[in-house]
Amino acid sequence: THKPDLPSQYVCIGVGPHGAIKGLPDGGKFPAVTIAVAKKPGTNAVDIAKSVIKRFDQLQGVFIPEGVQATITRNYGETAEAKANKLITKLVFATLSVVVLVMLAIGWREAFIVGAAVVVTLAITLFASWAWGFTLNRVSLFALIFSIGILVDDAIVVVENIHRHLHLGAKNLLEAIPKAVDEVGGPTILATFTVIAALLPMAFVTGLMGPYMSPIPINASTGMLISLVVAFVFTPWLTNRVLASRVEQIAGHAEGESSSGLSSFFNTVMTPFLVGSRGNRMRWILLASILLLIALSLSLVATKSVVLKMLPFDNKSEFQVVLDMPEGTSLEQTTRVLDELGDYLGDVAEVTDYQVYSGTASPIGFNGLVRQYYLREGAHLGDIQVNLVDKQHRDRKSHEIALAVRGSLQAIAKEYNGNVKVVEVPPGPPVMAPLVAEVYGLDYEGQTEAAWEIRQVFENTLDIIDVDDSVEYPSAKFVVRVDRAKASR
């Protein structure tokens, strides 16, 4: 026998201005089924996404009947690939920038040595990162870009001092290299461990932020140690191989001429701070000026001219609208409110399409991991997944769009006593909310009363919005007692 479809869960797809789908009227809606694919730990999200799409295309017209439309509403593999490619491009650009700078300052052979040292350091650091158990993701790649400026320091210092010894007249590289490395060895080791001491405490941060950001301090600190070994072992060996044929040309050649311009510049700038009683006064003025600039920079924070934020908003291609209706609301009423919210979102210029989930949760996202959105089951609950035009083809950022639509969405929801929240993909690890108060007490009634008082404080506090609580409100209860005597007649 055929079992009727019960309206326990309802999903529909709406089409925005840029999302006209073949065979559908403009702005049309239709019932849909969402298929979510999750990857196993340690696997490549990019490869899995491409394989799933390829397999899906093969099933079109064979297993999937003609006339059944399919839309890819979320592809985190594509997002990960774009972000990884962008970070790798920046990593290559940062490395080449260092090499070009050394080439202009010292020479192309010395630049080649520094470039080779950087490549070796990064290669060993990536291997060490794999040994630590980290995968190649946007955080670990950012750690390499973040540390590229300090990873090259050791090699540059060693190469530059060897170069200086040759210009001073050293004619035997095997004698000049140990002396040059020994001169800068102590300060280089001290500087390396100073950077590690500044970075490593981040690895001991607790909560979700600690594991999320741990690749940065661990990879950067490991890279610093590796760069120190490379600078003291690989760089001197490569220098001996590359510069061996040019010792006679470099030795004592034009050191004064090549640095005369710099010497003249530094003499002009630094002499007033070093000579005589006037130099002492100039040094105090310089110190006072630096302290004044520091005070001015701190005042920008105190006056809120610059707002500090741990992680900036990212420009994503999606956001989520979460609706909570009063408990006891029927599924049909929740669906009507979601449809009205969807109609408004469909008219937003940057929206390509949206999916409405009524009485059930949408496929779990980054926020849902912590906020437990996958437990949102009930006739009075629903959410809308909103997809935007690619950021390359729109002027407004996703955060600006979310801010712009929030007021109108809340106005629609309030007409039906609903509570709607616009939830963006977090730039860092997700949290329950930016501000959370946990109430503990001996009985549930006391906890409820305290939670209500705290909620009033939050709602009356400036700049706090979207106040919510986890109190379960009592609903009407109907008890049917059967009169067995009458029922048996």
- Characterize the bridge pairing of strands 381-388 and 318-324: antiparallel
Rounded distance between C-alpha atoms, residue 419 and residue 421, angstroms: 7
Domain limits, CATH 3.30.70.1430, in the chain = 1-34+314-432
Lowest mean pLDDT among 118-127, 167-176, 460-469: 167-176
Tell whether the model's pLDDT for residue 9 goes beyond 60: no
CATH 3.10.450.40 fits 1-34+314-432, yes or no: no
The pLDDT tens digits for 102-155 are: 888 888 888 899 999 989 998 998 898 888 888 877 788 778 777 777 788 888
Report pLDDT digits (tens) over 400-457.
999 999 999 999 999 999 999 999 988 878 888 888 999 987 788 888 889 999 999 9
Q: Are 217 and 115 in contact (CB under 8 A)?
A: no
Q: Examine the pLDDT at 36 and tell me if it is beyond 80.
A: yes
Return residue ranges of the chain for CATH 1.20.1640.10.
79-253
CA-CA distance, 55 to 63, in Å (whole number)? 11
Tell me how far apart the alpha carbons of residues 352 and 20 are, in angstroms, rounded to a whole number: 8
pLDDT of amino acid 18:
42
So what's the architecture of 79-253 in CATH?
Answer: Up-down Bundle (1.20)
In sequence order, which residues have a C-beta less than 8 Å from that of residue 267 and are 6 or more positions away? Answer: none
Phi, psi dihedrals of residue 421, rounded to the nearest 5°: -130, 135
CB of 143 closer than 8 Å to CB of 220:
yes
Q: By the 8 A CB rule, do 356 and 339 touch?
A: yes
State how far the Cα of 394 lies from the Cα of 164, in Å rounded to an integer.
53
Q: Given the DSSP bridges, would you call strands 10-15 and 318-324 parallel, antiparallel or unpaired? A: unpaired
Q: Is the full-model pTM beyond 0.75?
A: no
DSSP letter assigned to residue 204 = G
Query: 345 and 321 in contact (C-beta within 8 Å)?
Result: yes
